[in-house]
Structure 1
């Protein structure tokens, strides 16, 4: 299957650069994958699409201020790290920039303690491919407090505008810190709208998937089947496992909010096969593309994704690829806002 099969022309001005002031005021494209019908509305129309008993599954990961701007200790040259995965013992996997100048043994200094010394330093321990590095931090005090002080929110490269309010790149239900990017489909919800859905009888369930390296790397192969996803950490607790089990037993719809929730759910389905889900954690590198048969996910709320991305491939597995391309064409024609701060799509039957 050729990667170009998932390409499309997107006018640059449709890439949303800033979030809307009201989270729920974005637009919503509703795609019925059973009959191919496409409807256009606003995000709060989701309440009419959801039924009492539906389980809405949200990824409660929280984005860390993972972008660190510093300088090489020996030369004073600018250096940047994007933290991707915590490895323990103050070690992290990170993307380094400029990678060719950050070799094993390089020291990067961050901040100033007021006496001319750095607040924190990072040593490059190992070099990986495509700019990845294993680094170890040295510091005094509490790492998370230093990261909050020194780090910036890791906005995707297609967003050029400065984010004035950090919390706008967090979901209102974010709890567990560890992501290098937000699960952006969830950015549309407010606490009030979630309460309205619960009052209607929609069940809210939560999984955790810390978004990592795969979000920042474009596909570098021509054939879809040759692409390898990088592993990301997930968790499911006992209460939410039981909510999902009950939905499966009673034939109720499981609605994933975002591709991260969808990938977590399908990883769990593969892990437990036909057995009930249990509280667990682990690493997933599941890659979902057309031909994949969903086992737990019945419907998906998602944003509009980059051309030739693994996320477009995932939604094309849930609905027919031609139908997805038709929906994207209508979204472009109607000037929907794309990507992280953009509008939303609900895929259902």
Structure 2
């Protein structure tokens, strides 16, 4: 799904890339949609292709380390899906290897370019709420049964909601607020037949800001995905980016109005201005733009510009995940 939905359409569309090959072990279909794209039976076979410069690893979490390492050793630049790896030690090893090989290593965090998060980012960067007091981010679903993707339901390092949906909202917090001082968390398994965690409540403690990150697979009625309170007011925003749904429907990111949310999904901004005027109004979101991640990858590799997702951010994400697990296990606040 990830290759079909999140990567291939943009690699095919953007002039910066020449979409050449995929690994399809069983039923090669990529060439039906993208004529000329080669299909390989294995990663090792594909990595022997000297024309390939960049490889995207979008396999199950527990395999990220193995395939990213193999690609780096083959002299390829690498984009690897979140959550980077299954463990912090694996992440650090890959970072060291990328530096040794003089190759780029970038973690795919597409939710930075969701329309809803772009709206939140504007509110924060424009300081519309004044000094922030607290923020709460949700990424909830209602999936009481087990996933048809059986690898996601195996209890092992790198599986569960903490490593699936958790990295999205952890990264969004890092993107806006940087490194927290401390972490407190509760990680649970609530679905009757589940073996992996499916609920998380992570509290990131900053010097004067509290950020709560929540995700559950047992939320039937959605609530605002982003809630921010500051000394001058509040901002509420739904999770309403349409890019994934549009891509899953088979549409390519070429039509007019790409990534634009329905007007009804505009956020609610309620503030008091510096001159004492009360404002309560809808705050429309910028269009979502996953293509900006890929353009950033190109600029980083070709022109040496900063990575669209700094490796230190990706490593911090993994450290927060580890701290959350430790905090939940020990019922203690963990310092970073």
Name the TM tier (shorter chain).
under 0.3
Structure with greater contact order relative to length (CA < 8 Å, sep ≥ 6): 1
Give the structure-2-normalised TM-score: 0.28
Pick the structure with more strand per residue: 1
Pick the structure with more helix per residue: 2
